[in-house]
Amino acid sequence: MTTHAVLAGRIPVTRVTPALPDDRWRPKAYAGEVVPFRATVFREGHDQVGAMLVLTSPSGQVRHERMSPLAAGTDRWEAQALLDEQGVWHWHVTGFDDEIATWRHDAALKVDAGVDTELMFEIGARLMDRAVAEKSRPLATRRRLTALAAGLRDTGTSVAERRALVDAPLLDVFTAWPLARLTSDSPEHEILVERRRAGVGSWYEFFPRSEGARRLKDGTWKSGTFRTAAKRLDGVAAMGFDVVYLPPIHPIGVTNRKGRNNTLDPGPNDPGSPWAIGAASGGHDAVHPDLGTLADFRAFVRRAAALGIEIALDLALQASPDHPWVAEHPDWFTQLPDGTIRYAENPPKKYQDIYPVNFDDDPEGIFEEVLRVVRHWVKQGVRIFRVDNPHTKPLTFWERLIAAVNADDPDVVFLAEAFTRPAMMQALAMVGFQQSYSYFTWRNTKQELEEFLTSVSQDTADFMRPNLFVNTPDILTEYLQFGGPAAFTVRATIAATAAPTWGVYSGFELFESVARPGAEEAIDNEKYEFKPRDFAAAEKEGRSLALYLGILNGIRNAHPALGQLRNIRFHASEDDSVLVYSKHLDGRFTPDGRDDTVIVVANVDPHSVRETTVHLDLAAIGLTPGTPFEVEDLVTGHRWDWGDANYVRLDAFTRPAHILHVVRGRDD
């Protein structure tokens, strides 16, 4: 007779999360993230069950978190846990027969109905006796449980007095330490917790060659350098950004160099695209001579660190025709029948100044070289890499590279710039990328934003962290082109508050909105020319969003709820252009022990004034429905009394959004 292995367990535990769509890879979080752990736990019949999350930290500390039921009838259970230690955590869920809960449920019904009254009291007393027999329970608790058992058996007192013991607060001791039997454990699982910067940060992108660049009397340009670019860091720090992302800083090729606005006819002073990497002076491990030396770059990194800023460096695996790789490793590129090398294309776009790397003929050689390049920059103080177009390279390459780098230095972060199909974008995150660009740039309506933000905060949050960049050198959306300053304000507000990581490309704060005809990118694109900006003059003349960006980053730093990805909840408004969402963090997870709740109300129509009623789900922000409370606008300081339904007026031309903090609620 064949014996079948029984896998279900006496109290089945199934569908545990966090989990990935493919169990070859493990879920991940970042230090300080509050992660919801869920499981389906059930049993036959009508007796009550319970569920316990068992977490083991990388240092070996074991935590038990009692799970709570979610929607009635679903058998889904949840416990939220703050993962505060970097490294690999182990966890499982234990399901058990919750005899205390079953007794309390049955006793309440039967005693109130006058059925089996004494029997129910005796059953409860015997459960207390069993708990007292567990010597590992605190002595004081055991003495109180002994007294409770005696009270249940005391026929000299009224039924009503003994019935009250069924609801005694003392029985709450069984929440954290249940009287459990018939236990079943789920399989052991892992979750990788990475450093906090892997999930939380405010990014600012600028071209160092433009900072301090100046046109000479003869019409030629003198490039900015790392030394002049370092002066811009103070302004970036003043706006509260903590990551500065630099496009490629390497030598730029001359062959097929692009001119202004991506033309094929460059002038003698056109600097070329930084992404056309490689020249006689070096390749991916060198710095452009116009920017300075490697020592100058290290000084730039140190200056940024002194201001609380990390440097993110572009990693673009492609080569100019002049790159040393082309001569030394011709098999790294695709040779065409006419003897030429295939250049990069993304029809209808053509990149005649770039050769894409072909990973088929010498994958091992390419891997070793790229690993060497990354380690080289790590030695210079870089811990963040923004990877250009990773979706055009093999997934296996990235999985191997990121694993090798993080084995040496788990603090290194890779951001995937992959505006591509969901399958590839998500797979890149699963195999190791700590952050991902996303479709946020093109999600502008209320419905689009609700669907997108729900997806990234719920559906893919176990493995993909979105970086909500509002613009890039390549992307200037119609919303920004035609929405005026209100559009810039709204997009920054949503990006900074809806997810823990966001970013802007230099010029955003100056409302740069003129596109190259027929393209979704800025005219006079900085990719192909020097573009010095007078930020101080713009601020003085009121043509800058810099002050507001600083306010946004200050709000982010002050409110821990905004440092979480998975806690966004949407609320209703009676206007299709008024987006409403909240970020709530329970006091047990905040530094001061108080609940932190931020409510954002944004008019996503940058051309109008909107008046509407906002309907809040108060339970989602930790309040009892019907409870009045006070909110403070964190930008203006104005305060209002709010409740379930609230009138708002948002003028796109003056104040298109509210960022509100709940200042009076259940804790007051």
> Phi, psi at residue 315, to the nearest 5°?
-120, 100
Tell me, rounded to whole angstroms, the distance of Cα 503 from its chain centroid: 12
Whether residue 629 contacts residue 664, with contact meaning beta carbons closer than 8 Å, is answered with yes
Any domain includes 338: yes
Question: Is residue 79 located within the same domain as residue 110?
Answer: no
Please tell me whether 528 is known to bind a ligand: yes
pLDDT at residue 350, as a whole number: 80
pLDDT at residue 160, as a whole number: 97
CATH code of the domain containing 164: 1.20.58.80
Range of the domain at 46: 13-91+187-194
Mean pLDDT of all residues in 111-122: 97
Whether residue 398 contacts residue 418, with contact meaning beta carbons closer than 8 Å, is answered with no
Question: Is residue 463 located within the same domain as residue 504?
Answer: yes
Please say if the pLDDT value at position 121 is more than 70.
Answer: yes
Number of other residues whose CB lies within 10 A of the CB of residue 479: 20
Number of other residues whose CB lies within 10 A of the CB of residue 97: 20
Q: What is the tens place of the pLDDT at every residue in 438-458?
A: 999 999 999 999 999 999 999
Q: What is the tens place of the pLDDT at every residue in 518-527?
A: 889 999 999 9
pLDDT at residue 518, as a whole number: 87
The domain boundary, picked from 534, 560, 586, lies at 560
Which of the four pLDDT bands, split at 50, 70 and 90, describes residue 346? Answer: confident
d(CA 454, CA 566) in angstroms, rounded, equals: 9
Question: Is residue 173 located within the same domain as residue 253?
Answer: no
CATH code of the domain containing 624: 2.60.40.1180
pTM over 0.85: yes
Any domain includes 232: yes
Please tell me whether 349 is known to bind a ligand: no
Any domain includes 1: no
Give catalytic residues, as residue numbers: 388, 417
d(CA 363, CA 401) in angstroms, rounded, equals: 12
Which carries the bigger pLDDT value, residue 621 or residue 347?
A: 621
Question: Is residue 235 located within the same domain as residue 149?
Answer: no
Closest listed residue to residue 313, CA positions, set 293, 290, 287: 287
Question: Is residue 215 located within the same domain as residue 239?
Answer: yes
Q: What is the tens place of the pLDDT at every residue in 17-61?
A: 999 999 999 999 999 999 999 999 999 999 999 999 999 999 999
Any domain includes 3: no
The domain boundary, picked from 516, 537, 560, lies at 560
Please say if the pLDDT value at position 667 is more than 50.
Answer: no
Question: Is residue 318 located within the same domain as residue 280?
Answer: yes
d(CA 608, CA 102) in angstroms, rounded, equals: 57
SS3 assignment, position 112 = helix
Find the DSSP H helices in 445-477. 446-454
| Peptide bond just before 18 cis, omega within 30 deg | yes
Please say if the pLDDT value at position 474 is more than 70.
Answer: yes
Any domain includes 6: no
Any domain includes 4: no
d(CA 316, CA 361) in angstroms, rounded, equals: 19
Whether residue 569 contacts residue 608, with contact meaning beta carbons closer than 8 Å, is answered with no
pLDDT at residue 1, as a whole number: 62
d(CA 606, CA 450) in angstroms, rounded, equals: 18
Which of the four pLDDT bands, split at 50, 70 and 90, describes residue 6? Answer: confident
Whether residue 85 contacts residue 33, with contact meaning beta carbons closer than 8 Å, is answered with no
Q: For the chain, how are helix, strand and coil distributed in percent, rounded to 5?
A: 30, 25, 40
Please tell me whether 435 is known to bind a ligand: no
d(CA 233, CA 535) in angstroms, rounded, equals: 12
Please tell me whether 231 is known to bind a ligand: no
Mean pLDDT of all residues in 286-293: 98
The domain boundary, picked from 560, 584, 612, lies at 560
| Secondary structure E strands in 116-232 | 180-185, 189-194, 201-205, 214-215, 221-222
High-pLDDT (> 70) share of the chain, %: 99
Question: Is residue 600 located within the same domain as residue 547?
Answer: no
Whether residue 81 contacts residue 34, with contact meaning beta carbons closer than 8 Å, is answered with yes
Q: Name the token pair of 578.
A: 């008024």
Any domain includes 668: no
Question: Is residue 484 located within the same domain as residue 609?
Answer: no
Q: What is the tens place of the pLDDT at every residue in 599-656?
A: 999 999 999 999 999 999 999 999 999 999 999 999 999 999 999 999 999 999 999 9
Question: Is residue 246 located within the same domain as residue 363?
Answer: yes
Q: What is the tens place of the pLDDT at every residue in 539-556?
A: 999 999 999 999 999 999
Classify residue 153 as exposed, middle or buried by CB count within 10 Å of its CB (0-12, 13-18, 19+). middle
Q: Which of 342-346, 506-510, 568-572, 640-644 has the lowest mean pLDDT?
A: 342-346
d(CA 115, CA 109) in angstroms, rounded, equals: 8
Q: Name the token pair of 433.
A: 């990328």
Q: What is the tens place of the pLDDT at every residue in 150-172?
A: 999 999 999 999 999 999 999 99
pLDDT at residue 9, as a whole number: 86
Please say if the pLDDT value at position 461 is more than 90.
Answer: yes
d(CA 338, CA 334) in angstroms, rounded, equals: 12
Mean pLDDT of all residues in 135-147: 96
Beta bridge partners of 633: 660
Question: Is residue 247 located within the same domain as residue 131?
Answer: no
User: What are the residues whose beta carbons fall under 8 Å from the beta carbon of 233, sequence distance 6 or more?
Assistant: 244, 303, 304, 307, 309
CATH code of the domain containing 80: 2.60.40.10
Number of other residues whose CB lies within 10 A of the CB of residue 263: 11
Please tell me whether 314 is known to bind a ligand: no
Question: Is residue 335 located within the same domain as residue 407?
Answer: yes
Please say if the pLDDT value at position 666 is more than 60.
Answer: no
Question: Is residue 282 located within the same domain as residue 379?
Answer: yes
User: What are the residues whose beta carbons fall under 8 Å from the beta carbon of 246, sequence distance 6 or more?
Assistant: 205, 206, 207, 208, 311, 312, 313, 314
Please say if the pLDDT value at position 668 is more than 50.
Answer: no
Mean pLDDT of the chain: 96
Please say if the pLDDT value at position 562 is more than 70.
Answer: yes
d(CA 434, CA 346) in angstroms, rounded, equals: 26
Which of the four pLDDT bands, split at 50, 70 and 90, describes residue 505? Answer: very high
What is the rounded radius of gyration, in angstroms, for the C-alpha atoms of the chain?
30
Domain count, the chain: 4
Closest listed residue to residue 269, CA positions, set 350, 207, 227, 209: 209
Any domain includes 509: yes
Q: In what order do the strands lie in the sheet with 609-615?
A: 572-573, 609-615, 645-651
